[in-house]
């Protein structure tokens, strides 16, 4: 282990040194993705922790696919800036940058003379630099795209974006199409017909979303994904778009369709039913918050963290609103508190609205009995959870009837520590198997009265003798040999 190293915070706040030759000689001829990968790789060279220094880490950090990172790495190797040391898993090392080491790709000028002439005739608004023209040639060579197919892509992009469209946009479209197998004139024509057919469809989608702008290439590509890849027809897409109207646009629509796709919802009836459920859950969450007096600006985390799990446990809207009302009266004004209440009820099998009402009706009935018992011993305080626990022990675990409990309470009148006295008396009756009021009255409280009134002496409190295992066995008999006591 190293004696010292930079902390992760210091590493982030430190610097990455870039050779000026990279800026003057290499950067002008590299595309945006290649530059990003080169700079991020230099940053990782200074990351001594090695964290995220992998193909997956770089892909995640830059928000691009692993194949795009790999292509960028291969580009830098082709111009002599790096050396790939391993293909699987991918690893590479940076080489010293020298002008003489730049491996400039050579292309036959005659091969691309007509292409460059036609390209410049399409993009008339500005002169094209040699580096820009070289990028087109490199993409054509690397992705094996027919020159005429590339010109069709350029014309398509300029029709969408105007003749001032940046080359990076056009080349991104070209690479995307090439990855789909669109590399020749025939496949490019088919792709353009598909996109043209989707133009009217996307206009309808934009109208349903409340968008006034015109759909561009990426929007049409989205429609192809929804329609061709995921199998949603125009009717379904328009219905979901209306659900997103003025609430996030294309991105929201894509996310919602993606969630339906992952849930296996493809037909209008199933989508409508689920959309109604989503609306129901949202309104339920709002009503619950109103009941308990809470407010959340963003309801999505509330629905995901609380409402849906409660519904999954079997609680319905009526039951949850009943519990929200109970929380309000108990001064529980946050969803965590309500969740704790539901956890306890669920553990006891109290789920339906009827069961919830019965549960709290029984609590109210017992509270009235406990209140009367408190009055008997001269207390006017409210009923506490400890009181309820005691009463449940007496009535349910020890199976004493209300009249027996009431008798035991009457015996505690005037005694100090009334509940300690009551517990002692009832425990004695329980241990002696007494079940009727008559039997309890025969025994009365005399047996335990002296115990409850006895005061521990100083000697009792200071008796700190530690008994050995042998002494305890002599007193209590053989101890469980499986138990490991440490005396």
Which pLDDT value is given to residue 147? 94
pLDDT score of 49: 63
Answer whether 332's CB lies under 8 Å from 292's CB: yes
Q: What's the whole-number mean pLDDT along residues 310-330?
A: 91
What mean pLDDT comes out for the span 262-272?
90
How far apart, in Å, are the Cα atoms of 75 and each of 42, 84, 99?
16, 11, 17
In angstroms and rounded to an integer, the radius of gyration of the C-alpha atoms of the chain is 39
pLDDT of 15 > 80? The answer is no
What does the pLDDT read at residue 455?
A: 46
Q: Which of 220-229, 275-284, 429-438 has the lowest mean pLDDT?
A: 220-229
Whether 316 shows a pLDDT value over 90: the answer reads yes
Task: Kindly report the pTM of this predicted structure.
Answer: 0.46
Q: If you write DSSP's letter for every residue of 271-288 in order, what string do you get?
A: HHHHHHHHHHHHHHHHHH
395 vs 4, higher pLDDT: 395
What average pLDDT does this structure show over 220-246?
A: 88
Would you state the CATH architecture of domain 109-183?
A: Orthogonal Bundle (1.10)
Segment among 70-74, 250-254, 342-346, 454-458 with least mean pLDDT: 454-458
- The predicted-structure confidence for 417-439, as pLDDT tens digits, reads as follows 888 899 999 999 999 999 899 99
Q: Which residue has the higher pLDDT, 258 or 161?
A: 258
Residue whose tokens read 């002494």: 471
Q: Which of 189-193, 319-323, 350-354, 412-416 has the lowest mean pLDDT?
A: 412-416
CB count, 10 Å around CB of 31? 19
Q: What tokens does 409 get?
A: 């309470």
User: Does the CA dihedral 270-272-273-277 come out positive or negative?
Assistant: positive
| Per-residue pLDDT at 458 | 42
Domain boundaries, the chain: 8-101, 109-183, 189-266, 276-343, 357-461
Q: What is the pLDDT of residue 321?
A: 93
Of all residues in the chain, the percent with pLDDT exceeding 70 is 84
C-beta of residue 146 within 8 angstroms of C-beta of residue 108: no
pLDDT value, residue 464: 47
Tell me, what's the pLDDT at 462? 44
Instruction: Say if 8-101 and 109-183 have the same CATH topology.
Output: yes
Task: Summarize the confidence of residues 406-415 as an average pLDDT.
Answer: 89
Q: Which CATH number fits domain 8-101: 1.10.490.10, 1.10.10.10, 3.30.830.10, 3.30.1280.10?
A: 1.10.10.10
Please provide the average confidence, as pLDDT, over all residues in the chain: 82
pLDDT at 346: 94
Q: Answer yes or no: is pLDDT of 470 > 90.
A: no
pLDDT band at 17 (very low <50, low <70, confident <90, very high): confident
Of 211-215, 269-273, 401-405, 455-459, which range is least confident? 455-459
User: What pLDDT was estimated at residue 51?
Assistant: 65
């Amino acid at each position: 282990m190293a004696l010292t190293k930079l902390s992760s915070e210091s590493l982030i706040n430190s610097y990455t040194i870039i050779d000026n030759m990279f800026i003057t000689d290499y950067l002008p001829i590299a595309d945006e993705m290649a530059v990003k990968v080169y700079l991020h790789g230099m940053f990782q060279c200074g990351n001594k922790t090695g964290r995220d220094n992998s193909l997956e880490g770089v892909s995640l950090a830059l928000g691009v696919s692993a194949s795009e990172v790999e292509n960028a790495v291969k580009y830098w190797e082709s111009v002599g800036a790096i050396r790939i040391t391993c293909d699987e898993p991918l690893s590479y090392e940076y080489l010293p940058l020298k002008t003489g080491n730049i491996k400039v790709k050579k292309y036959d000028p005659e091969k691309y003379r007509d292409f460059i002439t036609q390209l410049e005739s399409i993009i008339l608004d500005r002169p094209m630099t040699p580096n820009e023209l070289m990028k087109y040639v490199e993409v054509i060579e690397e992705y094996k795209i027919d020159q005429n197919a590339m010109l069709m892509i350029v014309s398509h992009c300029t029709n969408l974006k105007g003749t001032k469209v940046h080359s990076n946009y056009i080349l991104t479209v070209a690479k995307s199409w090439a990855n789909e197998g669109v590399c020749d004139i025939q496949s490019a024509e088919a792709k353009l017909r598909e996109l043209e057919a989707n133009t009217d469809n996307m206009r309808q989608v934009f109208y349903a979303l409340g968008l006034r702008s015109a759909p561009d290439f990426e929007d049409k590509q989205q429609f192809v994904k929804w329609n061709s890849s995921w199998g949603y027809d125009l009717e379904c897409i328009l219905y979901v778009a209306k659900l997103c109207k003025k609430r996030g646009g294309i991105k929201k629509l894509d996310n919602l369709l993606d969630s339906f796709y992952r849930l296996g919802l493809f037909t209008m009836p199933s989508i409508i039913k689920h959309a109604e459920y989503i609306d129901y859950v949202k309104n339920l969450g709002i009503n619950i918050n109103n009941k308990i007096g809470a407010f959340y600006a963003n309801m999505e985390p509330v629905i995901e963290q609380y409402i849906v799990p409660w519904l999954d446990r079997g609680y319905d809207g009526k039951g949850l609103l009943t519990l929200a009302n109970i929380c309000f009266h108990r001064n529980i004004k946050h969803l965590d508190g309500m969740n704790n209440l539901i956890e306890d009820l669920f553990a006891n099998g109290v789920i339906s609205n009827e069961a919830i009402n019965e549960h709290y009706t029984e609590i109210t009935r017992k509270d009235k009995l406990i209140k009367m018992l408190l009055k008997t011993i001269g207390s006017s305080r409210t009923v506490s959870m400890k009181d309820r626990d005691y009463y449940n022990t007496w009535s349910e675990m020890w199976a004493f009837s209300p009249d027996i409990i009431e008798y035991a309470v009457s015996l505690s009148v005037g005694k100090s520590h009334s509940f300690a006295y009551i517990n002692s008396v009832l425990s004695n009756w329980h241990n002696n198997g007494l079940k009727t009021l008559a039997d309890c009255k025969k025994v009365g409280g005399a047996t335990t009265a002296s115990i409850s009134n006895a005061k521990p002496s100083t000697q009792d409190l200071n008796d700190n003798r530690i008994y050995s295992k042998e002494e305890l066995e002599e007193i209590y008999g053989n101890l469980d040999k499986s138990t490991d006591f440490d005396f």
